[in-house]
Structure 1
Amino acid sequence: MSVNDYTPNDNLYKIFNSPESLREIPQLLTYINQYKNDLNDSINQDIVQFKQSNSKELSDNLDYLIKLIKRVKSNASTTQQSIESMTKSIQDLDRYKKNLVLSMTILKRLQMLINANNTLMETIPSRDYKQILSLLSVIKELLIYFKPYKSIDEINQLNLMVISTQNKLVDDIFIDFEEFSGVPNQDDEQLVYGCQILELIDVKYKDKLLSWFYNLQLKEHKSIFNNLDEAGSLDNLNRRYIYFNNTLKLVRSKYIKIFPSDWHIDLELTKLFCKLTKQDLINLVSASARIDSKVLLDGLMTTLDFEKSLNDTFKTEEFTQLVSSVFEPSLIIWVNEQETLLNSKMMEFMAISQLPTEFNVNTNAELLTVLKVNSVPNIANSSTELFKTFQKILTQILRLSDGEILIDLCKLFIKYLYDFHNKILFPLVPKNADDFTRSNGTDTLKYLTMLLNTGDYMVNNIDDLSDKFKAVIKEEYKNKLPSLDKVKDVYYTLITKAVTNLLAKISNDSKLCWRQFLNVDWSNLETINDVSGYMVDLKQVLVEQNLKIILPLVIRESYVRNFNDRLVEMLLNTITNNLRYIKPISILGVEQILLDVTSLKSLALEFPIYADPNLDETRIHQSKLYQKFVNNQFHYLESLLKLLLVPTSPMEGMIASYFELIGDKSIRNFIKVLNLKDIDKTSQQTYINNFKLQLNIDDGGTLISHSPLLFNLEDEEDQIISTTVSTMNSPTPELRSPKILPTKINNFEKNLRELALNSENHVSKLNENFKNFGKFFRKDNNE
């Protein structure tokens, strides 16, 4: 049994075979400890004895091993010397054999070189270039082998003989090519091998042959089309290309077979021709003080067509702008002439009506009939023509270049986008509200919606134009392209002006309705009707005179929504501001106005349906967002009217109702309400103090800063000014027209205004109504 397999359990069971034997544990432990110590002493003694005896034996073994190694090395050296002595003669014999083989190889190859050279000399007179090429290839390879032996006279002499033979071959091959170019009587295949021989001898002979051949083919061309003769002018550039095409056709039919196919002589000849032509054109363009634009463009187009035909012929793109790039610096001449074209276009635009011919009607009824039948977009005729012209010009230039000249063209387009606005469209914007009273209402709507649609059309096409320029111009010039954002902003402003003036026109049309409103004795109203007379007339003005015409004429749905939103805001502000003129107002009066406002709200919710001229009054589902907008806007006015129903006393109750109904913490707005409730100035301070007190106590963060409707309500001071102005012009106060958004007009625009108006007045002579409408567009420089 090994030590690893030993388990003490069996022995322990024998020693402690009964419970009584456990008493003997102390004696057992003493015995085991003593036995362990004895074993340790015995082991230590054995280790010491082993070390003493083994050291001497190890030393003796090491000495023996050293002696044995020395003896082996000595025997090995002796053995090596014996082997070298035995094989020396064999090594010498092997070296002799190698030298003999080398000598035999040299003699054999020398014999081959001599024989090949002799054969070559005999073959040369036969002009059998195929066999000559084979022999010369062998000779050239052998000469490479003998290159290290050129110092040997015989080898050097033989090398000189081969050089002389090669020179003779070169002369013969050139003579054969010259004879072939005169009268083709040589074997095409033999001349191909002749070309390969020249290339084998030295690549310089290949270049010399090709240079001779190319010059030979272009000799007459250079003579005919030089810059000193008329044939070499830009006018005859097409003849130059036709002449070369004939030369190329001749080369490909007659000479292509006598040259190796990998030389591509037709392609290389064409490249050389393009290089020469490019240099000629550089000299022509630089020498001309003034180049006619038509000649320049014709030459450029001819060159582009020529380059395209070469690319198609050789299935490559190597010839793209290889020659035509010469014209790039001169393209500014063409761009400048496009300015003349655009200027003439602008004059044409100023001499024609901007409205589509379908809209040449005089009344709303006639125009509504046209809208029901036709779906012609109400966009200025000249705007589409302008961008067609832009597209035509851009298409032309892209055939010519995609480089820096596009920057100049972009600047030119921007200039005429400004001109189109300043000369054609801007003069059609009404100067002030008085123009509405002097103009035909139908014409007003046609022209203002035309301005809105055209502004939108211009903005979208300006974006497309900008994207087009960025897409086609070379990457290196993209950052240099001028931005079209500023000119686009001009047309955004035009859209704003159109919408604002449409609202001003509606405001002007509804003045009589609001005069009726002001003439009602609201403080002594005895009965309440479903709807007041002024509201019936106002609906007629809004729908029949305006919305049924305006909304179908507006193309983009987003502008229809924007216009309706602003119209709702204008109507609410108008009612609110007119409340200032009817103090005091009775409870019945307020309730009647509430009914009128509810009726107007129902109408406002229906505004979008009038965008469809064929709707025939059918009610359709409106946008939930628009419904929410209308409800929110009218909620402010309804809340204000409900507040006017609240008694002024007790004061705390009225103020609490203000917080509940109006929901703002603006003291200024609160004062406006006090004025509407006709509370005298001496009592207002008490209300204001109480308002501040309740605001400090009850404001839980739910009140807004100010109500939008009351914010737009004019102060008492504004009322005095407005009343004074109104009294000067009419016996009853009137609502002022909606404020036109301010737009800065630079001097350049003002100076152009008169020119545009003079041209537009030609258009206004179409009929008497149009004459009257011309006053609506008249501008002067005294704004």
Structure 2
Amino acid sequence: MSLKTGIEFESETGTDQKHETHESDGNLLPVCVSPEVQNTIDKVLSSDDPLDKADFNPIDYINGIFPTEQSLSNIDDVLNRMKAKIRQLDEEIRVVVRGQNNVEKAGKEALEEAKQVIAQLTSRIIEMKAQAKKSEQMVNEITCDIKQLDNAKKNLTSSIIMLNNLHILVEGVDKLEEATQKREYAQAAAILQSVVDVLNQLENHKHIPHIRVLAHKVETIRLKLAEQIIADFHSTFEGPNSKHSISHNQLRLLAEACLVVSSLDSRVKHDILTWFVNLELLEYKALFQENQDIAWLDKIEKRYNWLKKHLMEFEDRFGKMFPIDWEVSECIAIEFCKVTANELCKVMSNRLSEINVKLLLYAIGKTVTFENLLTQRFSRSISYERKDIKQISFSGLISHCFEQHLNIYVDAQSENLSKLIEQFVDEYQKTKNNEILSAEVFPSAGILFTQYKHCLVQCVQLSTRKPLVSLTTTFQKYLREYAHRILQNNLPRVGGPSLATSSLSSGGVLSAATSAAGILQSLLKEGEVTRFTKSELCQICSILLTSNYCLETVQQLEKKLQEKVDPAFVDNINMKGEQDLFHGIITSCIQMIIQDIESGCEPAFNVMIKTQWSTVETPIGQSAYVTTITNHLQQIFPFIRENLQEARKHFTQLCNKFAVIFIPKFINNLFKCKNLSQGGAEQLLLDTHTLKKVLLELPGWESVVKTAPGSYTKTVIKGMTKAEMILKVVLVPCERIESFIENYNKLLPDSDENELHKILDMKGVRRAEINLLLEAYRNAPKGDSKDIHEAIQNNIDHESSKIKRLENLIKKNVKV
């Protein structure tokens, strides 16, 4: 056996381990190392030598060196290299061990040295702590001393200030007494202010007897100064020498006294100002007494000129006497306004019969102008000199006295509006026979609302309270008057002059609904077909446009009145009744036009009813009555649309109402067509489809806008589809009763027994068969409405395609 085989045998015996081994008692034992230690070894001793691997296997290593038997011849060389390497490793280990011994000795020495240094540091730290404690004690002692010194300084300062204030107070009181006795008001003003300031600082020490005595003495001096200064004012302006001119020294003395008053109680200033202002207005009160001719309204401007002149004289003579912040000129002006308002109230009450609107407006105009002048004058003065004073508006201080007499103004406006309405009526009477070629808003409506605007602007300047509410009532009255006399009364009547119903009923205007009913009842007599002329249609359209203009303007007027009126009176502004009135006239006009359009269709419907439908065999094209209706509608609708261009919404409304009225009427006329043959029913079905197309195109006929309103289209499709379904039922054979009833319920799910009876009459069914069919209809089950409507739609589609085929067939027959 070769060495390799022997080695491999040893491997099989269990010595092949993936970790290091060592020899113990002649056996190889593994050296177990944790992964963390092994990782550390790999980082410190990085080596590619297989001997350094953690999973070193000696068997594999030897087999690697001696792979074959021939390689054993070099075993001595290998052993020598191994021994040399072992000797090298032993030497390195000895060097490391000796080095570790030296390091351990040096480390012990360093450790001892470090212990000595730490001991020295600890000793020094203890000493520093002791010194810091001593320093802290010293600082606390010094701080305590400083606080004591600060308190002593504060108390000393307070004592000095108090003693100083007490000295000022004692000295000031003495000087103030002396200045008061000598009437040296300039010095007294300066001393009094400083004394008052000192007393305020000593407020907390008034319990001290000496200070309390001084405070009482100061108050006594202030009272004496107030009495003395008031007496000086009275003696200067009311004394025996007051008739002579006041000297410069007197003015200077009083000017200095005013400085003192500013430091006294505010009541003193108020009393002086009240007395002085009344004194200044004594001449005015005497000159413009209510029994004087100059006090009347026509000379009201002289009152205001008096104040203008007097203020100029006052400011020239006494303007510098009073401090600026007293605003004496403004006080005089305010009191003048109050006195003037009271005096004017008395004068107007005593001479009420002499007031007319012209005089009243003249007086109000001059007053408002004067108030605005005062506002501007004193606003500029205040804003320039005393920005901290609240600005006072003079607006209304005098003019409010006219408010209770503004009924004269309102009555005058009522009279003017009444004349204006009469003028409109006269003008219309002169032009009523003229032919009208196109519709337009009556110029009178614009004139009326222009007058309203002028009255509103003027009244708002006079008052925004009850007079404005009264003016609103006047507006409402003449809006109703205009609606009745200019609009309702001029609606044309077929074959005669303008309709002129009673203008008033029990003192009031007829309602729009009542008037409209009377108009419609008078349009057509039984058995007659009457029509409006184109001029009359234009007249109706003009009234409709004018009513629409009035309706929109009244809405704006109501909003503007509510904005301008005083908030307390907003609820009194309500013009809904007038809006309803104009809306009613619009409705009347639309119904008259529709009635006229219906009248134009009556001859064609008569032809339709009188046609012998039982003799018609096959459809031969569009019936003559359909041509007549189509021509009539396609002529009148563009004409109406052209004349209602300024009120497109009402033209749309007219179209909708026409469809609602025309289609049921057409269906009723269908029911009047009796004993229909198969061909007759098919002809009527073709006519119905043709009319349906004409109606759908009608609103946009000969117009750039071809699209009809959605509501109108829906009404036409729904109504005319029902007419088509009626004729479809007529075409259904009734021999099989159940089948006929089933088809009837599908085609006309919303029908009833009465309508079925009419359809059977159209088919020419005998009385006995009708009873059987009606009995079957009563007993037949009703289907689901959704399924029924789907069936209807399917039938409509089927019928539409059938009608198209029928039209094509008719065209071919016509060509032949």
TM-score range, shorter chain: 0.5 to 0.7
**Residue 230 of structure 1: CA displacement?**
1.1
Matched with 2:291 is 228
Matched position secondary structure for 2:281: helix
RMSD of Structure 2 on Structure 1 (CA): 4.1
* Equivalent position of 2:72 in the other structure: none
TM-score (norm 1): 0.66
User: Counterpart in 1 of 2:186?
Assistant: 130
Cα offsets for 1:375-419 (capped at 9, x unmatched): xx7223323332222222222211111112233222222222222
What does 1:455-604 correspond to in 2, within 5 Å?
455-479=547-571, 481=572, 483-544=574-635, 546-554=636-644, 555-604=646-695
Amino acid at match of 1:245: K
* 8 Å CA contact 1:513, 1:537 repeated in 2: yes
Structure 2: 5+ residue stretches without partners: 1-157, 380-390, 494-518, 793-816
Pair 1:634 & 2:720 matched: yes
Aligned position for 1:293: 357
Match of 2:456 among 381, 385, 394: 394
Question: Once the two structures are superposed, what CA deviation does each residue of 1:676-695 show, in whole Å capped at 9, x if it has no partner?
Answer: 22324343221111001113
> Is contact 1:459–1:491 with CA below 8 Å preserved after alignment?
yes
Higher relative contact order (CA 8 A, sep 6+): 1
8 Å contact kept, 1:445–1:549? no
- 2:163 and 2:452 mapped to 1: Cα distance? 86
Contact 2:655 2:699 in 1 (8 A): yes
Instruction: Tell me how far apart the structure 2 counterparts of residues 110 and 328 of structure 1 sit (CA, whole Å).
Output: 61
Percent of aligned pairs sharing the same letter: 22
Residue range with higher mean Cα deviation, 154-163 or 250-259? 154-163
Shift of 1:151: 13
User: Is 1:305 matched with 2:369?
Assistant: yes
Name the SS of the counterpart of 1:531 in structure 2: coil
Cα distance change, pair 116–260 in 1 and its aligned pair in 2 (3 A): closer
Structure 2: which amino acid aligns with 1:311? T
Map residues 618-767 of structure 1 onto 2, 5 A cutoff.
620-695=706-781, 698=783
1:421 CA displacement: 2.3
Residues 635-672 of structure 1: CA distance to partner in whole angstroms, max 9, x if unpaired? 11111121121223222222222112112252222222
In the alignment, the residues of structure 1 paired with residue 692 and residue 221 of structure 2 have an alpha-carbon distance, to the nearest angstrom, of 116
CA contact under 8 A between 2:656 and 2:711: conserved in structure 1?
no
Answer whether contact 1:664 1:703 (CA < 8 A) is retained: no
**1:75-132: CA deviation from partner (whole Å, max 9, x where unpaired):** xxxxxxxxxxxxxxxxxxxxxxx9999999978865664456456666x5xxx75334
Matched AA of 1:304? V
Q: CA deviation at 1:562?
A: 1.8
Any idea what SS the aligned residue of 1:467 has? helix
Name the CA distance, whole Å, in 1 between partners of 2:452 and 2:175.
79
Are 1:130 and 1:193, in contact at CA under 8 Å, matched by a contact in 2?
Answer: yes
Deviation at 1:139, TM superposition (A): 7.0
Query: In the aligned structure 2, how far is the partner of 1:513 from the partner of 1:623?
Result: 27
Q: Is the Cα–Cα contact under 8 Å of residues 238 and 302 in structure 1 kept in the other structure? A: yes
Relative distance call for 1:441 and 1:355 in structure 2 (3 A) is farther
State how far apart, in whole Å, the 2-side matches of 1:213 and 1:99 are: 47
1:385 aligned to 447, 462, 467, which one? 447
Q: Matched residues in 1 for 2:165 and 2:624: separation?
A: 131
Which amino acid in structure 2 is aligned with residue 517 of structure 1?
A: M
Question: Relative to structure 1, is the Cα distance of residues 136 and 679 closer, same or farther in structure 2, using a 3 angstrom cutoff?
Answer: same
Letter of the 1:320 partner, please give it. S
CA deviation digits over 1:462-508, x for unaligned, max 9? 322322232222222223x1532233222222222111111111112
Query: Structure 1: 5+ residue runs without aligned partners?
Result: 1-97, 371-376, 611-615, 708-783
Give the Å deviation of 1:212. Answer: 4.8
CA distance in 1, matches of 2:350, 2:309: 29
Verify the 8 A CA contact 1:356 1:381 in the aligned structure 2. Answer: no
Question: How far 1:560 moved relative to its partner?
Answer: 1.7
Name the count of aligned residue pairs. 583
In structure 2, the CA distance between the partners of 1:437 and 1:232, relative to structure 1 (3 Å rule), is farther
So what's the TM-score if we normalise by structure 2? Answer: 0.63
Look up the equivalent residue of 1:631 and give its one-letter code: I
- In structure 2, relative to structure 1, the CA distance for the partners of 1:567 and 1:529 (3 Å cut) is farther
How has the CA–CA distance of structure 1 residues 212 and 521 changed in structure 2, closer, same or farther, with 3 Å as cutoff? Answer: same
Contact 2:548 2:582 in 1 (8 A): yes
Q: How far is the alpha carbon of 1:442 from its aligned partner? A: 0.7
Which stretch of the first structure deviates more once superposed, 345-354 or 128-137? 128-137
Instruction: Indicate the residue corresponding to 1:769 in structure 2.
Output: none
Change in CA separation of 1:143 and 1:562 when aligned onto 2, cut-off 3 Å: closer
* 2:536 corresponds to: 444
Indicate conservation of the 8 Å contact 1:354/1:382, yes or no: no
Q: CA deviation at 1:617?
A: 5.4
Contact 2:176 2:191 (8 Å CA) reproduced: yes
1:274 alignment partner, one of 334, 337, 356: 337
| Alpha-carbon contact 1:433-1:508 (below 8 Å) kept | no
Report SS of the residue matched to 1:556. Answer: helix
Looking at structure 1, the residues matched to 550 and 212 of structure 2 have their Cα atoms a distance apart, in angstroms, of 91
Letter in 1 for 2:597: I
Contact 2:179 2:185 in 1 (8 A): no
Match of 1:351, SS?
helix
Deviation at 1:233, TM superposition (A): 0.9
Contact 2:441–2:542 (8 Å) recurs in 1: yes
Judging changes above 3 Å, is the alpha-carbon distance between structure 1 residues 102 and 296 closer, same or farther for their aligned structure 2 residues?
closer
CA contact (8 A) 1:278 1:326 kept: yes
Distance 1:446 1:160, change over 3 A: closer
Q: Which residue of 2 aligns with 1:453?
A: 545
Q: How far has the Cα of 1:247 moved from its partner?
A: 2.1
Structure-2 residue corresponding to 1:65: none
Residues 1:174 and 1:220: Cα distance change in structure 2 (over 3 Å): closer
Query: How many angstroms does 1:320 deviate by?
Result: 2.6
Is the 1:331–1:405 contact (alpha carbons within 8 Å) kept by the matching residues of 2? yes
> Once the 2 structures are TM-superposed, how far is the Cα of residue 231 of structure 1 from its aligned partner?
0.8
Q: Which of 333, 346, 349 is 2:424 aligned to? A: 349
Whether 2:407 is the aligned partner of 1:332: answer: yes
- CA deviations on 1:282-341 (whole Å, 9 max, x unpaired) are 212322342322222222232222222222222345323222222222222221222212
- What is the CA-CA distance between 1:702 and the residue it aligns to? 5.7
* Further displaced range: 150-159 or 660-669: 150-159
The equivalent of 2:33 in structure 1 is: none
Distance 1:628 1:100 in 2: 103
SS at match of 1:606: helix
CA distance in 2, matches of 1:538, 1:102: 115
Give the partner amino acid of 2:681. V
Q: Which residue of 2 aligns with 1:410?
A: 472
In structure 2, how many angstroms separate the alpha carbons of the residues matched to 1:626 and 1:585? Answer: 31
2:245 to 182, 194, 198: 182
Letter in 2 for 1:515: N
- Residue 649 of structure 1 aligns to a residue whose secondary structure is coil
- What is the CA–CA distance in structure 1 between the aligned matches of 2:270 and 2:555, rounded to whole Å? 55
Distance in structure 1 (CA, Å) of the matches to 2:425 and 2:720: 45
* 2:321 counterpart of 1:265: no
Per the TM alignment, residue 242 of structure 1 is displaced from its structure 2 partner at its CA by 2.5
CA contact (8 A) 1:655 1:691 kept: yes
CA pair 171-518 structure 1, distance change in 2 beyond 3 A: closer
